[in-house]
Amino acid sequence: TERLKPSPKPLLKAIGLLEAKFDETLIIGDSESDIRAAHAAGIDSMLCYPASHHIYHDIEKLTSLAPTYIIHGLDEAVGIVNR
């Protein structure tokens, strides 16, 4: 789309193209724009915040955005997605 995150338009377009269900969709991201885009699209968000990420992003700021899940590595995502 012409718009970038945190606009929900890219996510909404992907959901539409994939014919996905909103209640079964989540975005895995590592930044404020990812979490904001998920909220704007009405889908769950998974903040991936590995140990080295403190160099780039402030964890307190990101958690204040209320992501649905917080993980520290993508390997943790599998257990959450398979619930």
Residue-wise pLDDT for 20-60, tens only, equals 999 999 999 999 999 999 999 999 999 999 988 888 889 99
Q: What is the pTM of this model?
A: 0.88
- To 10 degrees, what angle do helices 32-41 and 9-18 make? 60
Among the listed residues 79, 11, 21, 68, the one whose alpha carbon sits nearest the alpha carbon of residue 45: 68
Cα–Cα distances (Å) from 81 to 17, 27, 28, 54, 76, in that order, read 21, 11, 11, 25, 9
